[in-house]
Amino acid sequence: MNWPDFLLRLRALVYRNRVERDLEEELTFHLDMQARKNVHAGMSQAEAANQARIEFGGVTQVSEQCRDARGIGLLETVFQDIRFALRGFRRSPVFVLTVVGTIALGLGLDTALFTVFNATYLRPIGVREPGALYEAYWINRVGGSSGFSHSEYREFVASNPAFSEAFAYMDVEGRMNGRAMLGDLVSGEYFRVLGIGAALGRTLAPEDCSAPGRQPVVVLSYRAWRNQFLSDPDIVGRKVLLRGYPFTVVGVASPGFTGLGSRPAEFWAPVTMSARFDAVQNRPDTAEPRSLSIVGRLRTEFSTRQAQSALTSWMQLRTAANPDSAKAMQALLISRAARKPLRLANVLAFSSILAAFSLVLLIGCANVANMLLARSLARQREIAIRLSLGATRRRVVRQVLTESLLLALPAAAAGFAVSEAAVRLSLRVLIATIPPGVAGLVATLPPMHSDLRVFAFTLAVALASAIVFGMAPAIHTTRVDFMQAAKGDYTHGGRPSRLRGTLVAGQVTVCVLLLVTAAILLRGADRIHRLDATLSTRNTIQIVAREKSHEAVVGRLAAEPSVEMLAAAAHAPVERKSMIPVRSADGSELIRMAANQVSPEYFALFEIPLLRGRAFTAAEGLSAAPVAIVSQAAAQRLWPNREALGRSLRLAPDPGNDASLAPRQVTVVGIARDEISRWIGSGEDTSLVYLPTHPRAAGAELFVSVPGDPETARRKIDAALATVDPDAVQQIQKLQVREWVDEDAYFSFRVAFWTSSAIGVLALVLTLSGIYGVISYLVSQRTKEIGIRMALGASTRAVTNLVLRQSMKLAGIGALSGAALAAGLSKLLASILVVIDTFDVAAYIGGVAIVLAACAAAAWLPSRRASRIDPLTTLRYD
């Protein structure tokens, strides 16, 4: 079939009447012309017309031959199938609506998930030609990845032929006018390469990066300008305090631009101002820090592979003299076209979540397959006749599949709408319920528009599901026994009830899997909620000081009247801690335990009672004396049922671990009450070893207790510390252990639980409607048999049981396999989160019971109908 042929055929199909009229007119014209010629030759009108007709031959035959020239091709049969299917749909609108609704629901879930994936990993970010942007990094000989130094960046720009332009940037954080903000230090080419303009004032230019430390200028993000500066129209030229230094605002970036990464930048300053942002230049080693990321625009004539190998040899040459830890092994490029680079791990994670979501779609497909099966069995007679008359099986299968595809198209459109609504709703719910501790997450979400990619995804999945739900009925109904058909018996030759049973059992499996998983997650979340965090943290403020001003900060805090007590610790309570292998001096078994270095005041400040023994002394803290305090749980693990006090403990930290935890032997001087020792997600581990330290020790976090309102005190202390050094404080906040437990740690569980139960309930609803449909159909098919049974004396109850038994058998099989799958899945989850209990009996029983009860309810109605069958009517029917 060539192009003109296709067009002509299409025209003939679409404008059928007009094409016919045209043909008729053309032939009539010919006859008239011939007749006219005949008249000229001397014939009478009538004779001339007659003669013309004779010469021409049969007009009908000729027009038939003209149509035959067209032939009947694929296009014509497809059109026939479509017309035929549409006629069928018009007769049963409820069927069509049910199918479209069912598929649209499942499709909508999948599409919603894909919308998120697309926005994060696939959609190009709103900068100039993002497709050609690549970020470079390199891996050293010991496997660590690394960025570039200033001089390396300059050399890169000057010497790399594969990139037409490039810029360097680094992430920084800093308090601007007292508020913590995220920003990027960028080279002067940044805004030009990305093609980002200014909404107000100007962006940064190469001149801003001409000399180190000379241009204290800053560009604000549109969002920061609006939120932090209330859209002040006179912002340009004003000075702001950034990390305690005055910077001049030169402009506001265009709306919507928040930098390249997933972490939205709120300000941009010249990369030459980096000395203001880190303490790196104070370090004794004079080597240039490699803190820059380089992003370049790859020339079209270079492949990433070529650019990578060029980059690798350049970096290898440049670092050849270095020790292994700074010697380049390989340089790599990663695309910065989308919000986050697309890596295999992301795709795998997405696929596994998509698989879970797709279960709903799969159940929907099974339902639709069942409906189509029932429908096509009703059409068995028609199909058998068509096959007997010589239609090929392929032709009939194609016709049934056309029907499925026609159902899938409106389902795709509806699914698209469902997805839009679902995304919007879940965003709204997320914003409404997110705890303030993690609310920053919302700002990092990319805008969730759907685009052509999302639509293509929906369409593809819709067509795939059409094939899934259309194939079984298509193949099944065309398996006709001609001998039976010839005798007028058009009932199925195969075993559709087995196929149907498998579909139902599969649906139940999925429901149980989803609901049991939801229940396990819920109980895990509940367990976190019940964790006893008895620490007193009501009036505690946590301060993290910068290394350079740590001493001064401690001095100032000690003198501050609003500070009641000052304690220090390497880690806040509940925070993740270093795990070190320890063993009792008289034992041989190494046990990994959390360790924390705390100052003597720590126990008093957090009101952790020492059950036996004593706290550290100030002298022990200063000298890091070889003493330790252990938690009850730790004592029990190390010296089961023996007095731990006075015993020796060997610390055997892994080499390369925290330098302050040197291998040594320490004496236990006290036993402390159990506290949650580590991150909550890893469970109720409370064994903990405390080692002495003091507030002036480098890297210690500081905790102060204050009288009265902690927020007022926090501000007061913040202001006081700013007099020491405006950039002394990296972080100052109220310590909120209980809130943290309740919200931050609990939140992810809550999200997982709600998602899992929402799709579980959806799956259940679909399954129930499926079971109801199937059992009803089976009952109507077995009407004759049931009638005979009743005539032979079967009671109503026996008939009800007969039907119920049949459906419960399917449900039972499904429940068993679902529970088994759930065990596998939760085992997987438990490997990530200790708090999950794989064999949470209550969760299994609950999930299975709900599903079985629902199945029984769904089967009960048809079974009642079966019991009301009148034996006389059914017997007379045959």
Partner 1 sequence: MSGQSRIDLLQGTLDLLVLRTLQNEKLHGWAISERIQQISQEVLRVNQGSLYPALHRLEHQGWIKAEWGVSELGRRARFYTLTADGRKQLEIESQTWETLSAAIGRVLRMA
Matching residue, tokens 């198209």: 409
Q: From the list 65, 392, 648, 731, which residue makes contact with partner 1 (rule: CB under 8 A)?
A: 65
Q: From the list 24, 47, 55, 547, which residue makes contact with partner 1 (rule: CB under 8 A)?
A: 55
Q: From the list 17, 42, 46, 69, which residue makes contact with partner 1 (rule: CB under 8 A)?
A: 69
DSSP state for residue 617 in the 8-state scheme? P
Span of 2-10, 128-136, 464-472, 747-755 interacting with partner 1 by CB under 8 A? 2-10
**CA 70-75-77 angle, 5° bins:** 100
Name the region of 613 (left: φ>0; alpha: ψ -120 to 50; beta: rest). left
Taking the complex as a whole, how short is the minimal distance between the CB of residue 13 and partner 1, in angstroms?
14
Taking the complex as a whole, how short is the minimal distance between the CB of residue 82 and partner 1, in angstroms?
22
Q: Which residues neighbour 488 within 8 Å (Cβ) at sequence distance 6 or greater?
A: none
Q: From the list 15, 18, 45, 58, which residue makes contact with partner 1 (rule: CB under 8 A)?
A: 58
Taking the complex as a whole, how short is the minimal distance between the CB of residue 49 and partner 1, in angstroms?
14
Q: Which is nearer to partner 1, 24 or 589 (CB)?
A: 24
Q: From the list 47, 57, 433, 827, which residue makes contact with partner 1 (rule: CB under 8 A)?
A: 57
Q: Which residues neighbour 323 within 8 Å (Cβ) at sequence distance 6 or greater?
A: none
* CA 303 vs CA 132, 163, 233, 316, 328: distances in Å: 10, 11, 46, 20, 21
Tell me if residue 403 falls in helix, strand or coil: helix
Taking the complex as a whole, how short is the minimal distance between the CB of residue 10 and partner 1, in angstroms?
12
Span of 3-11, 142-150, 451-459, 468-476 interacting with partner 1 by CB under 8 A? 3-11
Taking the complex as a whole, how short is the minimal distance between the CB of residue 29 and partner 1, in angstroms?
5
Q: Which is nearer to partner 1, 70 or 379 (CB)?
A: 70
Q: From the list 42, 46, 68, 389, which residue makes contact with partner 1 (rule: CB under 8 A)?
A: 68
Taking the complex as a whole, how short is the minimal distance between the CB of residue 38 and partner 1, in angstroms?
11
Matching residue, tokens 């709204």: 428
Taking the complex as a whole, how short is the minimal distance between the CB of residue 31 and partner 1, in angstroms?
9
Residue 384 burial (C-beta neighbours within 10 Å; 0-12, 13-18, 19+): buried
User: Is residue 719 part of the contact set for partner 1 (CB under 8 A)?
Assistant: no
Q: Which is nearer to partner 1, 21 or 809 (CB)?
A: 21
R_g (Cα) of the chain, nearest Å: 38
Taking the complex as a whole, how short is the minimal distance between the CB of residue 4 and partner 1, in angstroms?
4
Tell me how far apart the alpha carbons of residues 630 and 673 are, in angstroms, rounded to a whole number: 9
Q: Which residues neighbour 454 within 8 Å (Cβ) at sequence distance 6 or greater?
A: 111, 114, 115, 118, 416, 419
**CA 424-430-436 angle, 5° bins:** 145
Taking the complex as a whole, how short is the minimal distance between the CB of residue 77 and partner 1, in angstroms?
17
Phi first, then psi, for residue 266 (nearest 5°) are -110, -15
Q: Which is nearer to partner 1, 61 or 388 (CB)?
A: 61
Rounded to the nearest angstrom, the gap between the alpha carbon of residue 849 and the centroid of all alpha carbons in its chain is 30
Taking the complex as a whole, how short is the minimal distance between the CB of residue 57 and partner 1, in angstroms?
3
Kindly state the number of chain residues that form the binding site for partner 1, as judged by CB under 8 A: 27
Taking the complex as a whole, how short is the minimal distance between the CB of residue 36 and partner 1, in angstroms?
8
Q: From the list 10, 14, 66, 378, which residue makes contact with partner 1 (rule: CB under 8 A)?
A: 66
User: Is residue 70 part of the contact set for partner 1 (CB under 8 A)?
Assistant: yes
Q: Which is nearer to partner 1, 63 or 617 (CB)?
A: 63
Binding mask 7-36 for partner 1 (x = CB under 8 A): -xx------------x--xxx-xx-xxx--
CB 508 within 8 A of CB 818: yes
Q: Which is nearer to partner 1, 37 or 495 (CB)?
A: 37
Q: Which helix (H) or strand (E) holds 152?
A: helix 150-159
Q: Which is nearer to partner 1, 22 or 288 (CB)?
A: 22
Q: Which is nearer to partner 1, 48 or 825 (CB)?
A: 48
Matching residue, tokens 């091709």: 73
Strand-pairing partners, residue 580, are 593
Tell me how far apart the alpha carbons of residues 350 and 357 are, in angstroms, rounded to a whole number: 10
User: Is residue 301 part of the contact set for partner 1 (CB under 8 A)?
Assistant: no
* CA 731 vs CA 410, 475, 534, 727, 734: distances in Å: 54, 67, 24, 10, 10
Q: Helices (H) and strands (E) in the chain — how many of each? A: 28, 22
Q: Which is nearer to partner 1, 53 or 527 (CB)?
A: 53
Q: From the list 61, 210, 248, 873, which residue makes contact with partner 1 (rule: CB under 8 A)?
A: 61
DSSP state for residue 566 in the 8-state scheme? E
Tell me how far apart the alpha carbons of residues 316 and 72 are, in angstroms, rounded to a whole number: 68
Rounded to the nearest angstrom, the gap between the alpha carbon of residue 854 and the centroid of all alpha carbons in its chain is 30
Span of 50-58, 106-114, 181-189, 733-741 interacting with partner 1 by CB under 8 A? 50-58
The residue ranges that bind partner 1 (CB under 8 A) are 2-5, 8-9, 22, 25-27, 29-30, 32-34, 55-58, 61-63, 65-66, 68-70
